[in-house]
Amino acid sequence: METVALKRMLNFNVPPVKNSTGEPVWKVLIYDRFGQDIISPLLSVKELRDMGITLHLLLHSDRDAIPDVPAVYFVMPTEENIDRMCQDLRNQLYESYYLNFISAISRSKLEDIANAAIGANAVTQVAKVFDQYLNFITLEDDMFVLCNQNKELVSYRAINRPDITDTEMETIMDTIVDSLFCFFVTLGAIPIIRCSRGTAAEMVAVKLDKKLRENLRDARNSLFTGDTLGAGQFSFQRPLLVLVDRNIDLATPLHHSWTYQALVHDVLDFHLNRVNLEESAGTESSPAGARPKKKNKKSYDLTASDKFWQKHKGSPFPEVAESVQQELESYRAQEDEVKRLKGIMGIEGEDEGAISMLSDNTAKLTSAVSSLPELLEKKRLIDLHTNVATAVLEHIKSRKLDVYFEYEEKIMSKSTLDKSLLDVISDPDAGTPEDKMRLFLIYYISSAQAPSEIDLEQYKKALVDAGCNLAPLNYIKQWKAFAKMASAPTSYGNTTPKPLGLFSRVMNTGSQFVMEGVKNMVLKQQNLPVTRILDNLMEMKSNPETDDYRYFDPKMLRGSDSSVPRSKNPFQEAIVFVVGGGNYIEYQNLIDYIKGKQGKHVLYGCSELFNATQFIKQVSFVICSAVLLAWPPCVQSLSGQDLGFKSQAHQYPSQAFSKA
Task: Note whether residue 652 is domain-resident.
Answer: no
Domain, as residue range, for 117: 1-134
Residues 533 and 623 in one domain: yes
**pLDDT number for residue 342:** 64
Predicted pLDDT at 656: 42
pTM: 0.86
- What CA–CA distances, in Å, run from 215 to 195, 208, 210, 443, 645? 21, 11, 9, 46, 9
Give CA–CA dist 395/602, Å, rounded. Answer: 32
Among 84, 116, 134, the domain-final residue is 134
- Whether residues 563 and 599 fall in one domain: yes
Beta strand 27-31 with 71-75: parallel, antiparallel or unpaired? parallel
350 occurs within a structural domain: no
What distance lies between CA 486 and its chain's CA centroid?
30
In a domain, 351, yes or no: no
Say whether both 145 and 237 belong to one domain: yes
413 and 454 in a single domain? The answer is yes
Q: What CATH number did the domain enclosing 146 receive? A: 3.40.50.1910
Instruction: Decide if 414 is inside a domain.
Output: yes
Q: Is the bond preceding 632 in cis, omega lying within 30 degrees of 0?
A: yes
Do residue 28 and residue 70 come from a single domain?
yes
The per-residue pLDDT for 290 is: 58
Backbone angles phi, psi at 357, to 5 degrees: -65, -35
- Asked if 79 and 145 sit in the same domain, the reply is no
Count the domains in the chain. 4
Alpha helices in 453-528 (DSSP H): 453-465, 471-486
Q: Are 17 and 108 in the same domain?
A: yes
134, 160, 184 - which closes a domain = 134
Q: What is the pLDDT of residue 414?
A: 84
- Total Cβ atoms within 10 A of residue 504: 9
- 658 located within any domain: no
82 and 2 belong to one structural domain: yes
User: Of the residues 78, 106, 134, which one is the last residue of a structural domain?
Assistant: 134
Q: Could you tell me if residue 352 is inside a domain?
A: no
Residue 3 lies in a domain: yes
Q: Counting runs of H as helices and runs of E as strands, what totals does the chain give? A: 22, 18
We report the CATH number of the domain holding residue 275 as 3.90.830.10
Same domain membership, residue 445 and residue 328: no
Q: Are residues 114 and 2 in the same domain?
A: yes
Burial (CB < 10 A; 0-12, 13-18, 19+), residue 231, is: middle
Q: Same structural domain for residues 83 and 153?
A: no
pLDDT averaged per 10 residues, the chain (length 660): 89 80 87 95 92 94 93 95 94 94 93 93 92 94 89 91 91 95 93 92 95 86 63 64 95 94 95 87 52 75 91 93 90 79 57 53 64 81 92 93 92 85 90 94 89 91 93 90 61 55 39 60 78 94 90 80 72 95 95 90 95 93 49 44 38 43
Report the alpha-carbon angle 499-503-508, nearest 5: 135
CATH code for the domain in which residue 130 is found: 3.40.50.2060
Q: Within a domain: residue 582?
A: yes
In the prediction, which pLDDT does 493 show? 60
Q: Please tell me whether residues 377 and 419 are part of one structural domain.
A: no
